[in-house]
Structures are given as C-alpha cells and as structure tokens.
Amino acid sequence: MFDFNKMVTAHLKKEGSWRKSVGRYYPSEVGGCMRKIWYSYFYPTELQPELLKIFEMGNIIHDFVVKILESEKNQEVQLLKSEFPLKIETPDFTISGRVDDLVLVKTSGKTVVVEVKSTKSIDYVKEASEAHVMQLQLYMHATGIHNGVVLYIDKGNLQSKQFEVNYNEEEIKAIMERFKQMHQLLSQKLLPIDEAKREEKKQWLCRFCEYSEKCEKNES
C-alpha cells in the first residue's frame, strides 16, 4: 500500500549539505574530535537518513520533556524558557547555539539550565558525558545561571537519569582555549591530530565517523 519508512526519509531529507563558516562555532561540537570538526568545515557531507532519524527522535524526546515541564500536573518546577538562542562573542570568533530549557525549581528557588539528551539505554548511563558537561558549562557561562542539569531520557521506555553540574570557571577557560585552538587550525588550514583515536573515551566516535577514510590517510 505505502512505504512509511520511505515517507519518513523523504520528510526528513535536507537538500544539499550544510556548509559551515570558519569563525562561527557550536557548543555541541566542542567535546567531540577536533579532527572530525575540522573536516566538517572543509568537506561538508549530507546527513544520512538513519542519522537524520536519530536527530529527529532527539527532537521528539525534547518536545515530550517540554510537555512534562509545562504540565499543570507538575508541581516541582516551572518552565521559564525553552529552545532559546545564545551567543558568545570573542574578537576572533562567535559561538552560537540553543539552550534546551530553563526552569525554576520551586522548592529551592534556584533557576537551572537543563540540557536534554536521549539515549538508547539508560542502564548504560553512569555519569554525564564529558562532551555534554562541556556543552552545559558553555550554556551556564552564556546565561549567567550557574546551576545545570544534564537530563538523559531512554528512547525505549522514557526512564530518565539526571546529573547536576556546577559552573566551573577553570573548565570554561579550558573550553574557550579549545575553541581558540580550533579556530587557529581552521583559519590556517592545519589538520588537527586524530585525537579520537588517541583518547580512550573518544575512540567510539571513530566507528560512526563519516571522515574515517580521510582520517586514515591524514588527508588535509
């Protein structure tokens, strides 16, 4: 009768590849592999259908979280903002992104930045990932709100885990230095080291990297 998988793929398909511009960077990238980020600026690729579906599932999960936070049945927190933009300007480059949620915790009176992440299985989530913490640190820095939570939602059963993150100025300095290094490498067209291969915590990224062939050849 009809192929719904095909319909979903057609619906999510984005025409052409999204070209990034050197000098504009994104909080979601900073904790990833520097070499992969570098390649994405010079060799933009069209996102594959399965990856688009994963991203869309993340959007659906976040929409669900917003419904919960807005619900009159929720007596614990008040949703103040959702999906709002932020920008950090430096003399050499701009960091721009979108914050998932900002909530007021009614019992403590604290305002908290919430970063929502979906996961295939909540059982394997033992702590907030370094990349997600770095992303949240940037959001806390940009908003001036120094209380944060990374909220993981299981795609299969909507079970969740959350991890509090406190603002850390030293971490922000390290993150901004990383952005500075990335900007210099991109501006000078110098290929970064293959850090995902060298760091145990990041090695899993190589299994899903669309630039793995270029990386093996050290192509620049």
How do the residues of the chain divide into helix, strand and coil, expressed in percent and rounded to 5? 45, 25, 35
Determine how β-strand 147-154 pairs with β-strand 94-105.
unpaired
Residue 4 lies in a domain: no
- Residue 47's pLDDT is 74
Closest CA relative to residue 128, chosen from 171, 92, 170, 87: 171
Q: What is the pLDDT of residue 157?
A: 95
User: Is residue 140 within 8 Å of 167, Cβ to Cβ?
Assistant: yes
Read off the DSSP letter of residue 115. Answer: E
Specify the DSSP class assigned to residue 122: G
What pLDDT is stored for residue 151 in this prediction?
97
Q: For position 15, what pLDDT does the model report? A: 56
Q: Is residue 212 part of a domain?
A: yes
pLDDT at 133: 97
What's the chain's Rg over C-alpha atoms?
19
Residue 202 lies in a domain: yes
| 8 falls within a domain | no
155 located within any domain: yes
Q: Which domain range does residue 173 map to?
A: 21-216
CATH at residue 141: 3.90.320.10
pLDDT for the residue numbered 79: 96
The per-residue pLDDT string of the chain (220 residues; one tens digit each, 9 = 90 and over) reads: 888 888 888 888 865 556 899 999 999 998 999 999 999 999 988 777 887 888 899 999 999 999 999 999 999 999 999 999 999 999 999 999 999 999 999 999 999 999 999 999 999 999 999 999 999 999 999 999 999 999 999 999 999 999 999 999 999 999 999 999 999 999 999 999 999 898 888 888 898 888 999 999 898 8
Q: Residue 199's pLDDT is what? A: 85
85 within a domain of the structure (yes/no): yes
Helix (H) or strand (E) holding 98: strand 94-105
Whether the CB-CB separation of 180 and 5 falls below 8 Å is answered with no
Residue 97 included in any domain = yes
Kind and range of the H or E element at 147?
A: strand 147-154
pLDDT of residue 52: 83
Its pTM stands at: 0.90
The answer as to whether 9 is a domain residue is: no
pLDDT in the model for residue 16: 53
Number of domains composing the chain: 1
As a whole number of angstroms, the distance between CA 94 and CA 88 comes to 6
